[in-house]
A and B are shown apart, each in its own frame.
Chain A
Amino acid sequence: MPLPFPRRCILFIPRPATLVLYRAGEALSKTGMANYDSGASYPDSSQGGLLTRCLFSTRHKTIGLQYLWLALFSVFLGMAMSLLMRIQLVWPSVHLPFLSSLGNSPDRFAALTTLHGSLMVFLVLTAAPQAGFGNYFLPLQIGAREMAFPALNLLALWVTMASFVGLTGAFLISPQSGIALWIVGVALFCAASLLNALNFSVTTIDLRVKGMTLPRLPLTVWAWFINAILGMLIFSILLAACVCLLSDRLLNTHFFPPFHFPAMQQAGVVTGAVPVLWQRLFWFFAQAEVYVAMLPSFGLITHLISTFSRKSVWQERLVVLALCGVGLFGFCVWGQHMFSSGLNPFSPLGFSLLASSLGLPATILMVSWLGTLWNARMQLNTAMLFALGFISLFLSGGLSGIFLARHDLASAAVSDDFVTGHFHLVMGVAATFAILGALFFWFPKLFGRRLNEPLGKLHFWITFAGVYCVFMPMHWLGLIAHSRVSPGTPVAFVAAAGSAIRTFITVAIVLTVFAQGLFLINFLWSLFRGEKTEERNPWRATTLEWSVPSPPPPDDFGPSDPVVYRGAYEFSVPDVAEDFLPQHLAPEQGAKARESVE
């Protein structure tokens, strides 16, 4: 198959630049970050210049790492923006080097919020756990040597990169053109996600190795698979909505007339269902998008908890059903966000019931995690700490979701701050904890080195305390803003309380963001100087990626395909030398292990 990009493009790079890139590539290869060689049967992207190998490789591992780098850059950019916003909110007169140059325009401030949200939701929470870890580890965990369509995979990566440029570039140009560019960026991200979703689903369905039956799939793979199916359905909807919106802005069409938008209307006027049209299309995507971010996290956390509890997943099949349930219910609850939009009087009740019914699969997952942890010989390393932190955040954030699922409460009693606190806790921070846990878990496999554990634990505890200090008070702020002040209470007293809470949040966020420096130092230091791991399976885990060297060789499994003999969570197996049985271990080898014990 020909390369999807012309090789001769490297000819246009000046010679000194090529030398610099070559040296950088050598350095990367030494740290195990680059695996660009050819496999047995896939298009060979190892030939050609360095750019071809670095940027235009169709290898799933290279592409997975590139998504992770993009997510890492985006998360720090997004965090810097939240820091600026909170500081500006509490100390508006403080001179900030970046924000002050924006001319204090409300448009710019709104754009900052939009950019923070879009970077975090799309390029971090959606891209990192699914496209990043998924691309790298899904083929390895099911014994495939590559994704089903490697060229599509590369195309999806570059469309995502283009989307990143569109989203961030929108902030730098004038607001009117910026909005159009932002919509183009979102549409591109939808297209890339659709390609990714297609690749993930087909890979899981058709490229599983011999013996990897559906009940034996690791739960991470189940989560990636269900998520891909969900993504394939919802990103199409947002793409259609973006095409219409872009057409309205650029071609003056009339899909969503601006005068019908609630923001342009007089207070209390609801003009038919037209403003609801955009909301319907948007929330049909956006509510399910929450689960697109959460589903891979559920898979990762279940996997981590089982591995580090040295116990099989409690009620594994029920967990698979719960993951399917999250996908199914998540697809049906879009109206939950439109309680104040003038819906049919009966529909809020229906959506309330559906939204509340999401509690069932969530409860099953929670009970399974606790059941797995029950009486377990837990290994409290950093990855496990992040997994436990996820459970805590998911529970705290999820509980406030119950209030929002009630249409009478959601539309009347709580304000933006409550919602902000809720979704940051349950979606933003919890999913980030899952990503961090997965990174600590898979770092030895990715780079052949370990992250520093004491530094990792310090980072965990500061971040864990920090996010609670940031987002819990936001719930109070939301309740205070809409509470009816009793006649005897001075309004100034309530205002002062709100102001104090805001200041507390800002101080907490400054500390939490700076604590992420610990992670960055740990990450970069470990990448080049961290403790090397010679062994293939440092965590004594069971899935197939641990049967290959760290980092995995270019063709993943060597000359012959692995065969899978058992489920993914055979821990604490009695009478075996080690307390686990890897999926690829042949029965004869398992029997030998047992004999040696006896």
Chain B
Amino acid sequence: MPGTTAFPDVELVVDDVGGGGGGPTPPPSGGDDDKRRRPGTPSPNRYYTGITLGIVSILMFFMALASAFLVRRGTSGDWIPVHLPAVLWLNTLALVASSVTLERARRSLSGLDLSGFRKLWAVTTGLGALFLIGQLVAWRQLVAQGVFMASNPASSFFYIFTAAHGVHLLGGIGALFYVLVRKFDGTSIALPTAAEVVSYYWHFMDGLWIFLLALLYLGK
């Protein structure tokens, strides 16, 4: 019957739209992005998803190295443990402190205290740079003791762990610096979103270093 025919196979799902267009509700501190979205503009959720998946991928990289470390240590006769320089503990302290200042900076931002945010953010960036300089000092101390990258498997692993972590952390410092100097007018990402995304990465780098340090300390 024309006009009265129902179309059972066709359903319009509007409420349960799972697409990125709708997506889950954005996190509270990055919430102004969706209001600014024009049709065809991709969801800002992509930054959160991207950093989360990126972290998983980086974790796999370090897990491969860690498993190689454990297997190599347990199966070889040429393993000479590396005596970890004391400066590493100070570096760790600086990195943990940077995570704390980062969170305080974000709290300032959510309280709309932009100048407080910038100050604390700059301190975080400085602490990050301090950590890297400290790592270089640790390398120099080891070199002075005659422990080189090619000396034995344990020293090879020490240098590769610290170098790989340092390179990833350098990327984090670049991101911190970017957030510090960039004016977020008319960009596809808002300042709170950028700060939160960078904070995920930074805390991950912090936790990863503590894991690596524990591995190097306990596994020597």
Contact = CB atoms under 8 A, between A and B. Distances in A.
Contacts of A284: 64
B41 to A, nearest CB: 4
A188 interface: no
A253 B150 contact: yes
A214 B149 contact: no
Interface of A: 1, 39-41, 142-146, 148-149, 194, 197-198, 201-203, 205-214, 232-237, 239-241, 243-244, 247, 251-255, 272-274, 276-277, 280-281, 284, 555, 557, 559-561, 564-566, 570, 573, 581, 586-587, 590-591, 594-595, 598
Nearest to B41: A41
Interface in B1-29: 2-3, 5, 7, 9-14, 16-23
B42 interface: yes
Contact of A236 (B9, B22, B57): B57
Given A206-B43, A207-B46, A244-B68, A253 B61 contact: no
A244 B17 CA distance: 46
A146 B65 CA distance: 35
A243 B167 CA distance: 13
Interface centre among A145, A240, A243, A251 (most CB of B within 10 A): A240
Interface of B: 2-3, 5, 7, 9-14, 16-23, 38-43, 45-46, 49-50, 53-54, 56-58, 60-62, 64-65, 67-68, 71-72, 74-76, 78, 149-150, 152-153, 156-157, 159-160, 164, 187-188
B142 to A, nearest CB: 14
B150 A202 contact: no
A362 B23 CA distance: 32
A240 B159 CA distance: 14
B132 to A, nearest CB: 19
B71 A277 contact: yes
B57 A274 contact: no
B114 to A, nearest CB: 23
Contact of B40 (A145, A202, A251, A591): A145
A97 to B, nearest CB: 43
Contacts of B61: 236-237, 239-240
A202 B5 contact: no
A208 B50 contact: no
Contacts of A149: 46, 50
B20 A243 contact: no
Chain B interface helix/strand/loop/mixed: loop
A202 B47 CA distance: 8
B7 A39 contact: no
B40 A40 contact: yes
A206 B5 contact: no
B49 A202 contact: yes
A56 B10 CA distance: 42
Contacts of A41: 38, 40-42, 188
Contacts of A244: 65, 68, 160
B5 A595 contact: yes
The 5 closest A-B pairs by CB, nearest first: A208-B19, A206-B20, A240-B64, A236-B60, A253-B156
B42 A594 contact: no
Contacts of A590: 7, 10
Contacts of B43: 206-207
Contact of B68 (A142, A210, A234, A255): A255
B54 A206 contact: no
B21 A208 contact: yes
Given A202-B49, A212-B18, A236-B64, 4 more contacts: A211-B17, A212-B19, A255-B156, A590-B10
A213 B18 contact: yes
A198 B57 contact: yes
Contact of B64 (A194, A281, A560): A281
Nearest to A214: B18
A591 B45 CA distance: 36
A277 B10 contact: no
A280 B64 CA distance: 10
21 contacts: A39-B40, A40-B40, A41-B188, A143-B19, A145-B40, A205-B49, A207-B46, A208-B18, A210-B14, A211-B12, A212-B19, A233-B57, A234-B60, A236-B64, A237-B61, A253-B149, A273-B75, A276-B71, A565-B13, A573-B9, A594-B7
B175 to A, nearest CB: 14
Nearest to B64: A240
Contact of A207 (B5, B20, B149): B20
B160 to A, nearest CB: 6
A207 B152 contact: no
A591 B5 contact: yes
A182 to B, nearest CB: 20
Contacts of A208: 18-21
Nearest to A280: B71
A48 B156 CA distance: 47
A99 B135 CA distance: 50
A237 B64 contact: yes
Nearest to B154: A254
Contacts of B2: 595, 598
A247 B57 CA distance: 21
Given A207-B43, A254-B152, A144 B20 contact: yes
A363 to B, nearest CB: 30
Contacts of A214: 18
Contacts of B164: 243
A558 B16 CA distance: 25
A234 B9 CA distance: 41
Contacts of B39: 40, 559-561
Given A208-B21, A214-B18, A201 B53 contact: yes
Contacts of B9: 566, 570, 573, 581
B71 A273 contact: yes
A210 B50 contact: no
A205 B68 contact: no
Given A149-B46, A149-B50, A251 B68 contact: no
Contacts of A566: 9-11
Nearest to B6: A591
B57 A210 contact: no
A142 B75 CA distance: 50
Contacts of A241: 64, 68
Nearest to A145: B40
A198 B71 contact: no
B50 A213 contact: no
Contact of A209 (B19, B67, B78, B157): B19
A135 to B, nearest CB: 15
A122 B29 CA distance: 41
Nearest to B77: A272
Contact of A251 (B17, B19, B78, B149): B149
Contact of A232 (B7, B22, B53, B149): B53
B5 A598 contact: yes
Interface centre among B61, B78, B149 (most CB of A within 10 A): B61
B16 A232 contact: no
Contacts of A253: 149-150, 153, 156, 159-160
